[in-house]
Structure 1
Amino acid sequence: MKDKNPISASEIGTLWLTYQEKTMILRILEYFIEKADDQQAKNIMGGLWQELSYYVTKIKNIFQEQGIAIPIGFTDTDVNLEAPKLYDNGFDIMFVRILKEISMGMYTLNMNMSYQDEVMEIYEGLTSTTQKIYKSSTLYLLEKGILTLPPKVTMPKSSEFVESKNYLNGFNLFNKKRALNDIELGYLHHGIETNNIGMQLITGFAQCATNKEVKQYFVKGKELAKKQIKVFEDILLQNDVQFSATSGSTVTPSKVAPFSQKLMMFCIYLLNGFGLVGSSFGTIFSLRKDVSMKTTLIAKDIYFYADEGVKIMIENGWLEEPPQMEDRAKLMKD
């Protein structure tokens, strides 16, 4: 591969980021598998661990063949398998399902930036794995009564076109707001579901963080998740839609960190990126102006929160630097 055609900068970048994400997930899975009480959940996570480990090795081999420095990523030092259980009541599979949602979007983008057969095969394989695990996780959670279905609506009996610009109304007090359409309902439900899981995750992180600044950052993230849930629930209630909250999960009283602060911060960094993308989709496809404006403001809050987290990671030496082009100006000056 090295002799025939070296991989491109975009492929190096996507493989590097994939390596970071997958080594993080492997460490999280190792802890969840160790603490899981349910054999079916263990089987789902164990199968995922094996497949991700295989692709991590493939990425490492490509880097070695190409003479590229292998990233540090996340290692055994970033997980404490002896730590008591921090989450209960199906949180492990709930979180795996969210991670697979993120992965599906990332693999599509990464495939679009790939040109080598070997690189494209990695993303094809990871996509297949992700879809399989996402499906099995969803069915497991529904079977256990942990996951809540989106609101049910009246089935449409005909196809229609928008006849007036009033369809976009939302801010004018003198104009009646139309009912939410099914696309908007779907994004609002998804926003509540993902933020509920994120709130549980970051609550546990805040409990066991030892760095004061990191602990405060996680507490701030918890409040941001609660704010988003309230915004989405208020929109639904104003439109006579009752959201049935998931039974969720339980954060135990444990204050022993199962993961390094570097891993916990990177995990939130990854989820912030997912939150920004999700808010962007909600803004674009919400045709009622008040709904799209609220999702835009949420995206702004997530952006500034994410930026604060990156600065904390840099200050503590936790942010591994991605591969980059040569600084030609500096080389010529030297």
Structure 2
Amino acid sequence: MSRHPRLAAVAIATAALAVLAAGPVSAGEPTVSDPRIVAHFDFDAGQTPENIALEPDGSADLTFAFAHQVARVTRAGATTVLATLPAVANPQTPNIGAAITTGIARAHDGTLYVGYATGTAENGIWRIAPDGGAPEQIAQLPADAFPNGLALDERCGTLYTADSARGVVWRVPLDGDAPAVWATGAALRPTAALPFGANGLKIHDGAVWVSNTARGTLLRVPFAEDRTAGPIETRATGLEGVDDFAFTGHGDTVLAALNTPNKLELVRHDGTHKTVLTAADGLDNPTSVAVRAKTVHVPSAAYFDTTAPDPNLLLARISRNKL
């Protein structure tokens, strides 16, 4: 099977991004240990995990990008397909040309929200009910938009999604109102060398945080009092090939998936960072991260592995350094 076209330019262009920053181990900062792969997926069937949301029992809900599926993986590695997004006859997804499922967010009642990048009328955000059933499109985005990282502000009934092609953040109300661009700026945009800008997205401590793959940065966009976007702050640089990320629960400390370098990066509150997992631990183009209690979950999609692609889900232990 030929290589999937998603982010075909990344493998070349990211080599020009900045070198990873490094720093000494800080007292009390999280450490990551005991990595183990709990599930392997079928690359040729398109089971390339792109994003992750966690269930209360620790199971992981994954989007399989090129299979157009959402699957649930138990902590023991058993995998069940929950839903399949509708096939698109002639996808025109920006920079890729193939339809893919992208970000995922979970509501407290078990409803799942999923990004579907197609470049057609199906482009936008889809909902999967807690009891299953056919996925339903709840928001349509322009054909030239690329919905990627996704987060839910359940209190305000709003989803936020990073648009990797336009380099903006969209606000998607759950009440049926039309989506609107929430944040814009050069820091969110792609570059001429790499056409994937804003990528991962999380809501944390009064702000929307966004990674920019093209620029290798982690950004913070604070909420103003009226919930509009405040000035964009750059919180870390030198994150080559950064995809999605998660907060560790220790303030603003982040674990970021560096896709093409095959690394999981610990990003400290001051922007310095260090590598905590690599390909030697089982990473194969990691795409996203989730943290629950003492466990970190890292899906790998194997997008650029030309020898023995191994899309998988890796679990590891996260704990606080006692130095």
Query: What's the TM-score once normalised by structure 2's chain length?
Result: 0.24
* More strand, by proportion: 2
Structure of greater Rg? 1
Query: What's the TM-score once normalised by structure 1's chain length?
Result: 0.23
